[in-house]
Amino acid sequence: MDRLRLRLSEKPLEVGESGLISVTASFGFAAMDRDSSLEELIERADKSLYKAKSEGRDRVCYWDHKAGIAVAVA
């Protein structure tokens, strides 16, 4: 995910005749475990994405199942 985030930010997007704009992205993800429902997985991924955005955007965060919190990767 972090490589994708970096690649997006490296190449500006051409917008008609107006010029170029920079693109950044934030990602949040979580891994499914046997004891979790799909709804719990989505909630954890959503919390991870919210943390990524709240830490200044252009970040990747994942859900640390053991700690029970979202953790920043980049």
pLDDT in tens, 63-72: 998 899 999 9
11 half-sphere exposure, CB direction, 13 A CA radius = 6
Question: Among the CATH numbers 3.30.70.270, 3.40.47.10, 3.40.50.300, 3.20.20.150, which is that of 2-72?
Answer: 3.30.70.270
Domain residue extents for the chain:
2-72
CA–CA separation, 44 vs 24, rounded Å? Answer: 22
Res 74: pLDDT: 57
pTM for the model: 0.78
The enclosing H or E element of 19 equals: strand 19-21
pLDDT in tens, 6-17: 888 888 888 888
The ranges of the chain with pLDDT < 70 are 74
Res 57: pLDDT: 81
Res 63: pLDDT: 94
